[in-house]
Amino acid sequence: MTMLWLCAISISSEDPSDQYLEEEVMADTQELSARPPSTPPTGSGPVPGLLGAAHRVAIILSGVLAGAILATWLSEASLGGSAELWIGYHQAITPSYTKAVPPIGGLALLATLAALAASWRNPRTRRLVLVAMACLLVGMLVTVIVHFPINDEIMTWRPAAPPADWQDLRAQWLTAHAVRTWFAVAGFVLLVLAHSSQRPEPDAQRP
């Protein structure tokens, strides 16, 4: 009888709050086990971050490229029709121009290619970046196919005694330069628009 009495006392002395806590812990454990494994959000991680940074680099480089080409186009207008002045100007700027501008264009094209990879899941951004890359590529092809041969020939001329067809070559150079100027500026503008299209709408950020 004494043992039964002691057991009854021990059972009745248990704190009901302990049982409640145990039930809460068990419920939380079951809830956590029922949840699916979490996955990192799309676009997170070091690789997408680097690709996104490449888009900004492409904007900067294409802007420098477009600015240099546009400045050259504007400088041509101030030379007038003097053969000696035009030939001397091109012989002075061609060496440094050839060393600086084509590498900038190549780097801008590579950065745009990386930006295209980063924007592949966004149809609007992807289209804009793709057209921008095409513009930069056309401008580079015009430079290599048209300007490089003409520049090499200009470097052999004597400013005081130009060849008889110098005006024809000048017209070809200016026409090709106008084409690559428009394509360079268009590529820069399209990259800026593509970067702006990546930003979510303000209403989409609200719960």
Domain count along the chain: 1
This prediction's pTM: 0.71
Q: What is the pLDDT of residues 45-96, one digit of tens each?
A: 555 666 678 899 999 999 999 999 999 988 887 887 889 999 999 999 999 9
Query: Does residue 20 belong to any structural domain of this protein?
Result: no
Query: Does residue 176 belong to any structural domain of this protein?
Result: yes
Element (H, E) at 103: helix 83-118
Query: Does residue 122 belong to any structural domain of this protein?
Result: yes
Where in the sequence is the domain holding 59, given as residue range(s)? 50-200
Query: Does residue 42 belong to any structural domain of this protein?
Result: no
Q: Is 55 helix (H, G, I), strand (E, B) or coil?
A: helix
Q: How far apart, in whole angstroms, are the C-alpha atoms of residue 165 and residue 183? A: 28
Q: What is the pLDDT of residues 129-143, one digit of tens each?
A: 999 999 999 999 999
Mention every residue, 6+ apart, whose C-beta is less than 8 A from residue 57: 111
- How far does CA 99 lie from the centroid of its chain? 23
